[in-house]
Chains A and B, each alone.
Chain A
Amino acid sequence: MSIDYELDRFIKPLRSKDSQTPDVTFQPRAYQSVQRGINLIANVIRPTLGPLPRVVAIDPVMRGNAGPEILDDGGVIARRIVALPDQDADTGAMFLRQVLWRQHERAGDGTATTAVLFQSIYNQGIHYIVSGGNPMQMRSHLEEGLRVILDELESQAVPLKGQEKIAQFAETLCHDAPLATMLGEIFDIVGEHGQLEIREAHGRELEREYIGGAYFEGGLLSRLMFADPMKSRAELEDAVVLISDLAIQEPDQLVAIFQAVIEANIKSLMVIANEISEKALSFLLVASRDPAQFRAIAVKAPTDIGGQAALLQDLAVLTGGRAVLSAVGDTLNGVKLEDLGRARKVWANIEHFGVVAGKGSPRALRAHIAQLRAAFNKARDSQARQKIRERIGQLTGGSAVLWVGGISAVDIKARTEMAERTAEALRGAITKGVLPGGGAALLACRSKLQKMADQAEEPDERTPYRILSRALEEPTRTILHNAGYRPSEYMGKINQARPGFGFDVRSGKIVDMAEAGVIDSAGVLSHAVHAAVSSAALALTIDVLVHKKRPEMSLEP
């Protein structure tokens, strides 16, 4: 349970009054208060946008001798602001906070962009609505404009391919050249869905290892199955694989399978099960007493709460076998030789087991992966996406491990976290491509919106497009301001430059942003725009605020 949730439970109820009647706030106070809350959150996060950001100092949750937290991640900053004293303003603040946290969870980045876009759209929109504009029409046309912006961004996106380009982009995210180079190499090999494990190293260096085939958590069930105890690893070639989540208690349960394997002149068997009793393990060990004739190993089925069956099905597709699942009433009684998977090599150590060159149907494997990719694109929950991505990575032929070193334990931890964030952002960029950065891609979307505004007949249609067009300048203006430049001085020059050109605050010049290596992930930016526009459009239709009463609670036991 996060500390924020714990605080929520205590702080909010203490504001309750005795009366059970809910507090209701009508216009115009509702607009004013919500706007206050939104502006507060946005203004806290605004300084963190751009390559030369400022930081935010936040009081620690537990006061004491600890100093303030110094943060530059918009999503985390938003999360730290738990509630405002004014409950009306708090509604606006919490609304935006929720939007930013979802952006952080889903895309890993782009929260500051979301915040400044949202703020601009809302402030302009409120101004129009209190002047008599129709909020529902406003919302409808904002969403139409959103579709145009997203299409325009998609048309501008270029693929992020090749080790060098990936490394270059990684460096803009992590500002760590060796780490960026390593990540560039890794993602060039394993791909956007590839399995990458990032671990803290003990030394100073960065190291990487590539592991062919698929591997899963769940190691050997008996150390006696190591052929070479010094290596702590067992390997079998041209093996058949019994894939199950069963608890195998009696040796008799394995006899029929064992006989079928021997009669087929197969010399290697891997048994995957949730549990195997000592008696059944002994049976396998005795059967393997002459490894030149026959060898069997037993490994624990991969443990994944709610997902074990899916992982076993993946193994079945990879090896051309059938998953024998207790959930559907399967037992070992009906298992035949053709139900066993096959692989050129299987291996196992104490913690993991792996399959190299599974002999399942390649067409079935490709179709299965295509289904998983479709499910990945549809999944809204970041945890669900993570699980699906891991499954795709396991099926696509290999994985990588990156050990991150540093000069101290604190440095290693921070560098590892940075590596994880950068890896996440790289995946999005490789999948959806990259765009000219520094706000240039958003500026290039304005001309279409301007045309739509010019063609509109009614103010209720024209104004939303103009609002969006103005809002798309906000990220550039904010980046300029944060870097110490006056936006009013430079926006004119930027507007005259060609599409894709922008102001590089590091060099102080107007450049082709993509060529200068100033690029943004298309996936992150599209998510940010979508979150900002659709949420601001919804927020503009908030007309009444109702605050429910909660029973008074005390901190006394």
Chain B
Amino acid sequence: MARDLDGSQLQDMVYALAASPNFAVDGVCFAARQSGLHRSDDGGRTWRPLFDVLRLDALLSATSVALSPSFESDGAVFVGVPGGLLRSMDGGKNWSTALLPPPPPFISALAVSPNYANDGIVFAGTMEDGVFRSGDRGAHWEAWNFGLLDLNVLCLSISPDLAHDETLYAGTDSGVFRSTNGGRAWRETGFPTEAGPVLSLAVSPMFARDGVLFAGTESYGLFYSEDRGQSWQRVARRNIPRAVNAILLSPRFPQKPGILALTHNALLVSRDGGRSWSKRGTRAELKAGTTSVAAPSGFGQRSRLLVGLADGRVLRI
């Protein structure tokens, strides 16, 4: 249980998790919580708050977090906070406020370009103001919402080949939108609007070739597309009947077609592209409610998964 600055108990929640690309060696990961941003250097066993350095009068929630793909060299961390965004260039030791155009947006999702080292591009999805884009490593931001007919953005997912295909996806209240020009304009996809809200998205690591992506919804389970979002089909109805809070694909998908789907109280893993599913973790462990997941060491049986819970804890499963 977290505590507020005055020592009173605080109902905490983990909104998002992010792990260092070099996690297997450095064990670094971050948890965006209601009580602020926390960092672990031992693979999620212990955590320390990072916002103390800000010397605030009240606790500052962290609603989302994302790391640079070259975190080990540039230390770039981006954190969504109510009304804005903070960024650190030294792994969370020091923070600066990123300037977003008013009115102050609520950051619901963050995504960093796979080519960040060269292009410096970061995207921020917001609850009412659509998608903001930065091209200078998060210093300045602009809203780019042409064609984004639903500005309630709940999740973002970027193509691994962004440098060439300039493609990314936004999951919103009413469905999935796609940009093919690096986030400067959006178009509707074929996702059925009645199946929204879309809480989670995952793009295949081989997207440039296979055009595969998955979308997790609030009430209608998991959807799959193999034509870049033009058409969708619902999958795993029996195993995943309702909310999908997070989706991860194995790093070598589709050769190793591992999928991880986080429902509100279960962690489901498929090793055959979604045909069959098994549970990871026990009901007792997850009964507090699952909110976020990270798989920094992959999907192997012995790989540790980090699962964020609605009570603020992070489990190592």
Contacts and interface: CB of A to CB of B under 8 A. Distances in A.
Given A237-B103, A238-B103, A357-B130, A191 B149 contact: no
A344 interface: yes
Contacts of A357: 128-130, 145, 151
A222 interface: no
B193 A190 contact: no
A308 interface: no
Interface stretch (B184-192, B200-208, B244-252, B254-262): B184-192
A397 B128 contact: no
B102 interface: yes
B149 A189 contact: no
Nearest to B152: A362
B148 interface: yes
Interface in B123-152: 128-130, 143, 145-152
Contact of A190 (B128, B129, B146, B150): B146
A484 interface: no
A191 B181 CA distance: 12
Interface stretch (A77-85, A363-371, A485-493, A523-531): A363-371
Contacts of A238: 103
Nearest to B186: A397
Interface residues of B, number: 25
Given A161-B180, A190-B185, A398 B146 contact: yes
Chain A at the B interface: SS class: mixed
B128 A189 contact: no
Contacts of B186: 397
A396 B181 CA distance: 16
B103 A188 contact: no
A344 B152 contact: no
Interface residues of A, number: 25
Contacts of B12: none
B297 interface: no
Best-surrounded residue of A162, A237, A397 (most CB of chain B within 10 A): A397
B272 to A, nearest CB: 34
Task: Pick the most buried of B128, B146, B172: most chain A CB atoms within 10 A of its CB.
Answer: B146
B146 A344 contact: no
A237 B130 contact: no
21 contacts: A162-B180, A162-B181, A189-B146, A194-B146, A345-B103, A357-B128, A357-B129, A357-B130, A362-B149, A362-B150, A362-B173, A366-B149, A366-B150, A366-B174, A366-B193, A395-B149, A396-B146, A396-B147, A396-B149, A397-B147, A397-B149
Interface of B: 102-103, 128-130, 143, 145-152, 172-174, 180-181, 184-188, 193
Interface of A: 161-163, 188-191, 194, 210, 212, 237-238, 344-345, 357, 359, 362-363, 365-366, 369, 395-398
8 A-B pairs with the lowest CB-CB distances in the bound complex, closest first:
A362-B150, A237-B103, A362-B174, A189-B185, A398-B146, A397-B145, A397-B146, A363-B174
